[in-house]
Amino acid sequence: MMIPEFTTPYFSGSAILNTNFDWNFSPADADSLRRINQIEDDKERIRSLNKFKFNREPDDSRSYSLNQKGYIFIVLVSTWLFPWMGDIAAVKLFQLLIHSLLSFLILIQLKSSRQKLLFFFLYIINPFVVYYAIYPFYYFWQVVPSAIAIILLRRKNYSVGFLYLTAILFALMFHIRSTSILVIIVCLLLFPEHIRRLRRWGAFSIFLVLVWFFYPHTEHKHPGHIMYVSLGAYPNEYVQGFSDTVAWNAYRKHTGKQFDYQSKPGMYDASVFFAESEWCLREYTQIAKEEPLMILRNAALNYFQSFGFGHFRSSLSLSYLSTLCGLIIFSFFIYRKNMKAILLISAASLSYILYLPPLPVYMYGSYLLIIYFLIEEIFSEKESS
């Protein structure tokens, strides 16, 4: 799971959510999670995490406004459905059920038994895929727009009403994970070829209205921090190491202040968070001016890794192997003239891939598309019949 400082605002925020939907959380819950993470015995640590319930009536709380609020409601629904379980365990189970449902809906779209068997083993019960299906954070929900895209491709005669309902669901997904925006645009505007263009734009308008209406009134968040950190994913002389800590240490050195999650002001505070991100953006811009070819090289590596199995912090060699695999898969789709596959897989990561390497946790929506289109091309229904 993510570190307590990232997990707590969502789970604690859900536990103490009020009728005004103000986003607050209890720092004491983050302390409790840190203590659980320090348990040396793996089984006992996992058991404690799965039993842990966030405090519904904390003695202290603080506001939070650094991310999208949508995942709070996923936690809320999960704990309502499975109240006898710990909060984190409830979310894991709910996400596993969604994974099973989406997988089943795609499985029944496949015609040949060979396609179904491959999809079952390569995706549905693939331990690598299941690991991220039960990862208790918002990354899992990137898969929903990707799954809907496949269903829309397979069902060519769906109604306008179905497209409008899909637009409503897409608005919810956007508020959970906004990087799915390009897949959403493709699904609403390009794929429903049998639906008149004006009605497609009507569906897209519903999506935009719901996004605007529920959009949180917080400071504008830009990716400066991530852009700077991502430079450390590949060898360079500017940023050493692909880690959030690298950026924060550089910012601490720049300001002469020791910010952390316990300090006041600290890393939970929007003023500190956005100031650090703006500093990172300035540093990134300066580096990009000095080394534009390095930026282009990183973007190319990232792009082809998004067709492979992602980028791995622990192994640059494995990341380069992923680049090679991605280039082969990309070339295969070009050879087969499957532009829809290239369009959708690109859309699943293009909102961040120009600067951020596609870590496996970011690629959950991409894995489904890659596996599905490879099965469809290698074992096409025409060849199976």
* Domain spans, the chain: 4-64, 91-213, 224-291, 296-384
326 compared with 221, residue with greater pLDDT: 326
pLDDT-based confidence at residue 255 (cuts at 50, 70, 90) = confident
233 contacts 357 by C-beta, under 8 angstroms:
yes
Q: Return all residues near 223 (Cβ < 8 A) that are at least 6 apart.
A: 277, 281, 352, 355, 356
**pLDDT tens per residue across span 177-186:** 989 999 999 9
1 contacts 49 by C-beta, under 8 angstroms:
yes
pLDDT-based confidence at residue 271 (cuts at 50, 70, 90) = confident
**pLDDT tens per residue across span 205-242:** 999 999 988 776 555 567 889 999 999 999 999 999 99
Q: Which helix (H) or strand (E) holds 76?
A: helix 70-81
Question: Which pLDDT does position 143 carry in this prediction?
Answer: 95
Question: Which pLDDT does position 144 carry in this prediction?
Answer: 96
Question: Which pLDDT does position 121 carry in this prediction?
Answer: 96
DSSP labels for 271-335?
Answer: HHHHHHHHHHHHHHHHHHHH-HHHHHHHHHHHHHHTTTT---TT-HHHHHHHHHHHHHHHHHHHH
pLDDT-based confidence at residue 385 (cuts at 50, 70, 90) = very low
Q: Kindly tell me if the per-residue pLDDT of 101 is higher than 60.
A: yes
DSSP class of 343 = H
Q: Return all residues near 360 (Cβ < 8 A) that are at least 6 apart.
A: 128, 132, 309, 310, 311, 312
207 contacts 170 by C-beta, under 8 angstroms:
yes
**Least confident interval from 9-13, 273-277, 343-347, 361-365:** 273-277
Question: Which pLDDT does position 58 carry in this prediction?
Answer: 84
**pLDDT tens per residue across span 128-147:** 999 999 999 999 999 999 99
Tokens of 173: 């997904």
Q: Kindly tell me if the per-residue pLDDT of 384 is higher than 50.
A: no
Q: Kindly tell me if the per-residue pLDDT of 337 is higher than 80.
A: yes
Q: Kindly tell me if the per-residue pLDDT of 381 is higher than 80.
A: no
Residue type at 110? Answer: L
Q: φ and ψ at 63, to 5 degrees?
A: -75, 160
Asked if omega into 136 is within 30° of 0 (cis), the reply is: no
Q: Kindly tell me if the per-residue pLDDT of 281 is higher than 80.
A: yes
Question: Which pLDDT does position 379 carry in this prediction?
Answer: 82
DSSP class of 260 = -
**Least confident interval from 39-48, 102-111, 200-209, 266-275:** 266-275
219 contacts 205 by C-beta, under 8 angstroms:
no
Tokens of 346: 């690109």
DSSP class of 221 = P
Q: If DSSP codes are grouped into helix, strand and coil, which group holds residue 111?
A: coil
Residue that is written with structure tokens 């794929």 in the block: 191
Question: Which pLDDT does position 69 carry in this prediction?
Answer: 86
Question: Which pLDDT does position 159 carry in this prediction?
Answer: 87
